[in-house]
Structure 1
Amino acid sequence: MPNLAPYRHGSSLLGQMEATAVPERAVAIWHLGQESVVLKGAGITLYVDPYLTDSVNADGTTPRKFAPPLQPREATNADYVFITHDHGDHLDPSTLRDMAAASPQARFICPVPCVSQIVKAGIEPGRVQGVNAGQTVELGALTAVPVASKHEDYEQDEKGNHAFLGYVFKLNGVTVYHAGDTIGFRALADELKPLGVEVAMMPINGRDFARFGQGLIGNMDFREAIELGRSIGADLLVPLHYDMFETNTENPAYFVDYIHDRYPRQKFKLFVPGERMLYLSERD
């Protein structure tokens, strides 16, 4: 049995986040598993899709392959929490409720159709901001641009608000794209390319007939993620959404092999849950 303990966890992880000094034109990145990431820069700490509960099935088993690197009530450092869509491993009411209590300063940003679910989790409406694709959100030193995603197809409410979003973050002189859940498609590449993405964080768990029949809606696979990242000129590619659940994983070695074969000069990073990376922009 492999050791699936997070690289760093609990108070050790939180202490590292708080102690990490981020220079200009840089961001610190922590991966917490699945698509949960933390970004820090310019005095701002933001979480994307935090899924930090140890969910238990009806038979007493847990679907997670490893414990959360951080418990929600340990996340006292959140300034902003971004949610990409309403699936339980991205919008987890238990995680958000406890994070809201632990980080009373935190604001929660999500697709407009998700606002009611976050409020139902017990978070005050004044702390929740619904956004739609194409809207630029200015949050002090942080700018976030929501980008419409297709989890197979676009999903919109009756007012045309997209239910699935990715975000392009401009923080401390660095531009980071977090795709949320999406397949690759030309309109997405065309929208991202002018935004100058340097770090592209994308799912690679793919889709297939068997999983679709089980209600597991698809994402891009490792090829699509790499080709999308290449098409938008990203400097660093980061695969996500391949490590959490036995029934919906992917071997990241395929991602590595494809880059090695096709694009051997392309930079990439595979994270261990709980691991930190400091990315410094090299763009003029």
Structure 2
Amino acid sequence: MKRRKFIKNTVAITAVSTLGGGILLSQKRQMKQITKNAALETVWGEWEKNGGNPTDENGLFLNMDTVGYEKASFGNVLKWQTSKNPFKERKNNQTQGTQVIKDDSFLNGTDDVIVMLGHATIFIRLAGKRILIDPLLGNVPVPYMEFLSSSKRFSEFPIDPQKLTNLDYILISHSHYDHCDKNSLKLLQKQNPNAKVLTGLKMQSLLQNWMPNHEIQEAGWFQKYKTDNNLEIVFVPSCHWSNRGMNDANETLWGGFILKSATKTIYFGGDSGYGNGTHFKKIGELFPNIDVAIIGAGAFAPTWFMKYNHQEPNDTVRAFKDCKAKHLIPFHFGTFDLSDEPLNEPAIVLEKLKAENKIGADELKIVKFGEVVLV
């Protein structure tokens, strides 16, 4: 049965190490430590009062939501890989993902824009600043697993990566390989020597190996980075986890970003399950009038296994409503074959939800890669 996909292997690796060390995503662990970057401002007073991000007794980060996470047991991984996939026939016939517009003229403009470049890689221009989120410019470099079909792109990268120059900020949401890519970051550091790198707590030691001459700022949740005066960027929670190998789960912090100018606010949700919705509601409360929410909708099947890490489209709409944004751009689908559903299933389900008036036609924006969205 051809069911070995990138996320399955990532989770399987972590599950094996969990059997040895119990390291994966357990909200039931006792909170022992609180962490933050003392050099940065915390924008939520209660979070500041409590000291910042909670960790467990081993110093591993925990999710904000109180939903009880199950450990990813080896048995559950096997159950997933050997269970029947209801999407199998459709997946066997898929040949390409999201449509691509190959036009790099947006790089030369001045308008506030969002341009989805594939998976979670997003170009944003806001307040005159050029920002790139989670750059992955090629295939997913899964260590020792390059043979997997899940590592290859089903949608071309829309522009020549060599043209990604004059970036002001590079944002890294978490350490997973499909969001934090060594080769992409090494290329970008050569092309953008003055770009500042913004990420979560404990990520600096990893990123400095690839970007030794760059300023790297680590933040806890609800902490504001030191940026240009006309632009605020805040690290915010997601319901997820982190790892690079077998023995480092949750040693680094994961999350999303709020980007705020004098007139516009953009929310990038990062990889996230819905959990109990606590973090989405709090983000909407702290940052009212979000113009565009970029929220994950892919790599969700089977939901019984994926729901703690990625949300399915119904939950994407719930999250959008929770944060009270004006417009939704879904992401995290159409590029890589990471889970049981077909590449463009999230878009199909979201269009159905729109037809059922679960989300307004003026609220939902499903974009092509390379398509320019004015903010």
Change (3 A) 1:250 1:115: farther
> Which among 23, 29, 33 is matched to residue 118 of structure 2?
33
Structure 1 residue 247, shift from structure 2 partner: 3.3
Q: Give the residue type in structure 1 aligned to 2:217.
A: Q
Give the TM-score taking structure 1 as reference length. Answer: 0.82
Q: Give the residue type in structure 1 aligned to 2:365.
A: K
Q: Partner of 1:241 in structure 2? A: 332
SS at 1:139's partner residue?
coil
Return the alpha-carbon distance in structure 2 between the equivalents of residues 102 and 125 of structure 1: 12
Return the alpha-carbon distance in structure 1 between the equivalents of residues 282 and 227 of structure 2: 22
Query: Are the aligned partners of 2:273 and 2:309 in contact in 1 as well (CA < 8 Å)?
Result: yes
Q: Give the residue type in structure 2 aligned to 1:88.
A: Y
Give the TM-score taking structure 2 as reference length. Answer: 0.64
Structure 1 residue 204, shift from structure 2 partner: 0.6
Change (3 A) 1:231 1:59: closer
Higher strand share: 1
Q: Give the residue type in structure 1 aligned to 2:221.
A: A
RMSD after superposition: 2.7
Structure 1 residue 211, shift from structure 2 partner: 9.2
> Which among 175, 179, 204 is matched to residue 269 of structure 2?
179
> Which among 316, 333, 349 is matched to residue 254 of structure 1?
349
Return the alpha-carbon distance in structure 2 between the equivalents of residues 211 and 247 of structure 1: 16
Structure 1: stretches of 5+ with no match in the other structure: 280-284
**Map of 1:1-284 to 2, 5 A cutoff?**
6-8=100-102, 12-13=103-104, 15-18=105-108, 20-22=109-111, 27-55=112-140, 58-59=146-147, 63-121=152-210, 123-124=211-212, 126-140=214-228, 141-151=230-240, 157=251, 163-184=253-274, 185-194=276-285, 195-196=287-288, 197-209=290-302, 212=305, 218-248=309-339, 249-251=343-345, 252-261=347-356, 262-264=358-360, 266-279=362-375
Change (3 A) 1:134 1:224: same
Structure 1 residue 68, shift from structure 2 partner: 1.8
Equivalenced residues, count: 262
Which of structures 1 and 2 has the bigger CA Rg?
2
Q: Partner of 2:69 in structure 1? A: none
Return the alpha-carbon distance in structure 1 between the equivalents of residues 96 and 299 of structure 2: 24
Change (3 A) 1:151 1:2: closer
Change (3 A) 1:152 1:103: closer
Change (3 A) 1:265 1:59: closer
Structure 1 residue 246, shift from structure 2 partner: 2.1
Return the alpha-carbon distance in structure 2 between the equivalents of residues 211 and 53 of structure 1: 30
